[in-house]
Amino acid sequence: MSESEKPTYIDKIGRFLNIDGEKAFNGLDNKERNYCYYFSRASWEGAKICYFQRSYEAPALFYMLSKIFTIQSLDEIKTICLSKGWSDEEWRMLTAYIAGFFQNCGNYLSFGDKKFIPEIPKEKFLEFIHLTEAYSLEPEKFDKIWNDINLELYEYKAPYGELGYTDKGCLSSYYSSNMTQEDCKFADEFMQSIDLSPLNTRVIKHSPDHYEILVCSYKSGGKVYNYKDKKFSVVYGDFSPFMYKVITNLKECIKYAANENQVEMLKHYIRHFETGDINAHKDSQRAWIRDKNPIVETCIGFIEVYLDPNRTKGEFEGFVSVVDKEQSKKLAKLVDNAEKIITNLTWPKELEIEKFSKPDFTSLDVLTFACSGTPIGINLPNYEDVTRNDGFKNVNLGNCYGTPNKQFSRFLRDEDVDIVINYSHESDFVMVALHELLGHGTGKLFVKKEDGTFNFNKDMPHPLTGGPITTWYEPTETWGSKFGKVSSGYEECRADGVALYLSTFEECLEILLPGRKEVWDDIVYGMWLQTTFSGLTGLKYYSPETQEWGQAHVCASFALLQVLIEAGNGMIKIEETTKDGKPYMYYHLDRTQIHTTGKKAIGEFLRKLQIYKSLGEVEEGTKFFEGYTKVNEDFLRYRTIVLENKTPDWVELQHDFKRTDDGNVEYVKFEESFEGIIKSQVYHYRDTFEDVYAVWSLYKDHFKYKASQ
């Protein structure tokens, strides 16, 4: 069986990322704790949407599992299964799958968008369902759901294996399953024509002449349009029951807000979730940006667009976190010095934002991150028209890094493993700080404004060709809409490249790693090593069939690795060998060349990357970037070695809160195991899963893939 034909499982060995916020939570007063509690409730209520954004079948399985583990305890079900002859290993396979399913908000890995299936056979999974009390209460309903989704739960070959356009051999539940790439783009084009943001929508194609746009909002309503001889029904009220609960909890938050900016922000959020109006969300983000250095930091809404093949529809997320004062001080200092540091970057100064609006940059400990996966750094908002005028915020999520250990390391020499283990937290901190603030935060887009004027000097010569400038962004265009699918990987690569490049400047290290001068070299080496090395191990996210990368950050790392290989001088060596009779390899990065070969190559690469981005040169830019993400014969061979030596994917554990009747809020912890993750996830959603079934039933037939269509 070739690699791509093998199914992906959540490895039963288990590798847990414990997002522990207890210490941070203990430092809060009761008002702040209540604020956290209600914001967290709102976040988890909204995160039910993530299941709908992942696959047709995910909401239905979420419903069944939530019901099963709410009616009966996990331990009780385990006892029953074992008494019916299940082995410990079978139980572990089952719980690994369920824990992974909940954590990823569905049955595709949030990191890489690849389908994973249960390792136990289908009959065994069905037996588990049949053994539960939930089943015995409503056997017909459960049987019906099982009939509707069991094929999808176990099918992993195209188009079921990956998320993307249906006509590219993938599936996407942002669109009814009969929609082609062209249909998806056409629907976006219509939305643009009536100035409706696609960010919080799903689309159904009822017939060749009739599309329906579902807009997430509490209030229902709608309007019918004609666009290029097609009928478009815009229907409000999608996910309305979830929105009702999101709004209810946000209203409670208002009582515990720390200041007027937070109150204003919450009111805009509520208006946004009531009406579906993205402008209200933009207003919430403006108030959020004004709320500088809050002790409790939050965000909620349709935020990142990675999951949508069109890159225009957001995945729902909501988070609650607490500021880490010590680390935040360093980041604030980086912000203060940003304008000076930016002058070290390699693109012409005309391509830089005239006035770097100093963002808030804090380090946070996450209490809740309700979404399919937790990042380690954030740069928000994603609205270019808001960031252009109001600025933005950066956050480092300090307790979400995960700690590497010897058991799961491979392809690195022992001395490198030690460096990665000893300095990973500091390397990650420098990486995230530079990536978010000076990576995503820099570089200007050349825009033609609504009034027909330009935000750049049209007479300046093209920085690469010396000729005239003929491309820019129209008022309605954004980076994402213009560069489309390549935009996420391209932008992550630019941000990572900036981070590597600037890590070679002492002024950055003095700010971020004070008092650690004796190990700066090791930490910077660790950073370069981890970033480029993840381009190699990340080959598992590359699909030779579609020749596409399933993950933007990994695609970015791979491109940077190729830049260093292209630079030559033997800076990168991949040594093929054998281990235990099987092909194996070792990765070498010559640390003595970071300041010479490496810095020069990355600097030159960034210059071009930024020029194409600033000028909106889609064709040239795409060609240039894709030149570095192509996987040649050698790397296809390395990919096989990576797949043969897999390490388990992380599965995250998040804890929760309990609020007593007298208004006290406590931190509730769960054990670091598959069982602990399942218990915590069932706890996150409390008893609110019936609405998931109701919403799923409304449109399910449109989203189910039919082979004959």
Binding site for Zn ion (CB under 5 A): 492, 495
Q: Cβ closer to Zn ion: 98 or 495?
A: 495
Residue showing tokens 């893939």: 705
Residue 493 Cβ, how far from Zn ion at the closest point, in Å?
A: 9
Phi, psi angle pair for 394, to nearest 5°? -120, 145
Name which of 57 and 315 has its Cβ closer to Zn ion: 315
What's the CA gap between 651 and 99, in Å, rounded?
A: 8
Shortest distance (Å) from residue 406 CB to Zn ion: 29
Burial (CB count <10 Å: 0-12, 13-18, 19+), residue 226: exposed
Nearer to Zn ion, 216 or 341 (CB): 341
- Known catalytic residue at 5: no
The structure tokens 């199914």 sit at 7
Q: Between 32 and 492, whose beta carbon lies closer to Zn ion?
A: 492
Task: Single out the residue of 81, 88, 57, 260 nearest to residue 177, CA to CA.
Answer: 57
176-192 core/surface letters (b: 16 or more CB in 10 A; e: else): bbbbebebbbbbbebbe
What is the C-alpha to C-alpha distance for residues 35 and 665, in angstroms, rounded to an integer?
10
Neighbouring residues of 612: CB distance < 8 A, sequence distance ≥ 6: 620, 621, 624, 625
Give 495 or 609: the residue with its C-beta nearer to Zn ion: 495
Give the residue ranges of DSSP H helices in 391-444: 414-433
Contacts of 424 (CB under 8 A, 6+ apart): 401, 403, 404, 526, 530
Q: What is the CA radius of gyration of the chain?
A: 25
For Zn ion, give the closer residue by CB, 532 or 681.
Answer: 532
- Tell the smallest beta-carbon distance from residue 417 to Zn ion (Å): 26
Considering beta carbons, is residue 213 or 556 the nearer one to Zn ion?
Answer: 556
Report yes or no: 90 and 99 within 8 Å, Cβ to Cβ. no
Distance, in Å, from the CA atom of 119 to the CA atom of 124, rounded to the nearest integer, reads 10
Residue 384 CB, nearest approach to Zn ion (Å): 15
Burial (0-12, 13-18, 19+ Cβ within 10 Å), 239: buried
No. of helices (H) and no. of strands (E), the chain = 26, 17
Longest dimension (CA), the chain: 79
C-alpha span between 107 and 156 (Å, rounded): 10
Alpha helix segments (H runs only) across 55-112: 58-71, 74-83, 88-103
Taking the complex as a whole, how short is the minimal distance between the CB of residue 377 and Zn ion, in angstroms? 7
CB of 255 to Zn ion, least distance (A): 35
How many angstroms separate the CA atoms of 178 and 704, rounded?
Answer: 9
| Cα 190 from Cα 185, distance rounded (Å) | 9
How far apart CA 599 and CA 576 sit, in angstroms, is 26
From residue 406, give the alpha-carbon distance in Å to each of 14, 19, 113, 288, 419: 15, 20, 27, 41, 11
Kindly state the smallest distance separating residue 432's Cβ from Zn ion, in Å. 9
Q: Which residues, including other chains, have CB under 8 Å from residue 41's CB and lie 6 or more apart?
A: 245, 249, 252
Q: Are strands 582-589 and 572-579 parallel, antiparallel or unpaired?
A: antiparallel
- Nearest to Zn ion of 495, 615 (CB atom): 495
From the list 11, 18, 8, 135, the residue with the least C-alpha distance to 65 is 135
Q: Compare residues 111 and 411 and give the one whose CB is closer to Zn ion.
A: 111
The CB-of-361 to Zn ion minimum distance in angstroms stands at 14
Residue 638, H or E segment? helix 633-644
Task: State the minimum distance, in angstroms, from the CB of residue 445 to Zn ion.
Answer: 17
Among the options 274, 436, 492, 617, which is catalytic?
Answer: 436
Decide whether 17 or 495 has the Cβ nearer to Zn ion: 495
Least distance (Å) between residue 556 CB and Zn ion = 8
Q: Would you please indicate which residues are annotated as catalytic (active-site) residues?
A: 436
